[in-house]
Amino acid sequence: MLAQAHSNAIAQVHACGQELAFPSRLLAGPVLPSSASLSLQQLPNNPPAAGLAAPARPTLGLITPVAAVTPLVLEEFTRELATYPLSKRRYVLDGIRLGFRVGWEPDRVSLRSRTSNMRSASDHPDVVDAYLSSELAARRVAGPFTSPPVPLLHVSPFGVIPKNHQPGKWRLILDLSSPAGHSVNDGIPKDPYSLHYVKVDDAIRALVDLGPGALMAKFDVKAAYRNIPIHPDDRYLLGMK
């Protein structure tokens, strides 16, 4: 398997210290990649004739266009971020258009793939199968492959944990910090890739500044991490086995 949308390492995108909300118009259904980049034909608009099997859904690979693996609408983000500083705006828009780099620097560490997953993966195989099936259906994961799709594919261990306050719901964790000393995260510098969440104090300060009558709202984006596309050049770092 190969993750083509961001793992839980990146939760939110910030620009100029402001949290970017994701109104529904900024999200769209996944766009099918062009047939030139696929080995299988796309599904036709008309249903197959009786007695005939439906054509296979296009498979996703390392070179699948970014537009095929993210529902983020570039045109809407371009309009919403028009007043943001150029460098911040360019980072977000280029990431949506081309995919975000994970920040891995090859000179910092020598990668070593893990040959086994976390115990929770073997303890809950049905959960893993169901989760991966849903990710494949949503076109956020490529595979499965009978052999590594690239010679340098790096495999990290994964497992599952129950979601807080959601009985029966599970979260798949791809451990990019394992094995210690030879992992993807070991090759990512902390300072430029640290994440700072908006705090309650920040919201209180904004309300005080705006004065009486100010309104506030909180947006929670479903599968927020998985909406953020990975740059094709970094997809080989996110292998699962």
Domain with 156 in it: 9-17+64-215+226-240
Specify the number of domains making up the chain.
1
Assigned domain for 155 exists:
yes
Say which residue the tokens 């209180």 belong to.
Answer: 204
Looking at per-residue pLDDT, the higher value among 8 and 107 belongs to: 107
Assigned domain for 47 exists:
no
Assigned domain for 141 exists:
yes
8-12, 65-69, 237-241: segment of lowest average pLDDT: 8-12
2 band by pLDDT with thresholds 50, 70 and 90: low
Assigned domain for 82 exists:
yes
Share of the chain above pLDDT 90, in %: 32
pLDDT, tens digit, 9 for 90 and up, residues 140-170: 888 888 888 888 899 999 898 888 888 888 8
**Which pLDDT score is estimated for 84?**
94
Assigned domain for 1 exists:
no
**Which pLDDT score is estimated for 172?**
85
User: Residue 218: exposed, middle, or buried by beta-carbon count in 10 A (0-12, 13-18, 19+)?
Assistant: exposed
Assigned domain for 204 exists:
yes
**Which pLDDT score is estimated for 176?**
93
Assigned domain for 142 exists:
yes
Share of the chain above pLDDT 70, in %: 74
Name the pTM for this structure: 0.69
Q: For residue 162, what are the CA distances in angstroms to 5, 11, 18, 24, 169?
A: 21, 18, 31, 27, 6
Assigned domain for 125 exists:
yes
pLDDT, tens digit, 9 for 90 and up, residues 199-241: 899 989 999 999 999 888 888 888 888 888 999 899 999 998 8
- Span 3-32, average pLDDT: 38
CB burial string 92-129: b at 16+ within 10 A, e below = beebbeebbebbbeeeebebebbeebbebbeebeebbe
**Which pLDDT score is estimated for 110?**
92
- CA torsion sign, 93 to 99 to 103 to 108? negative
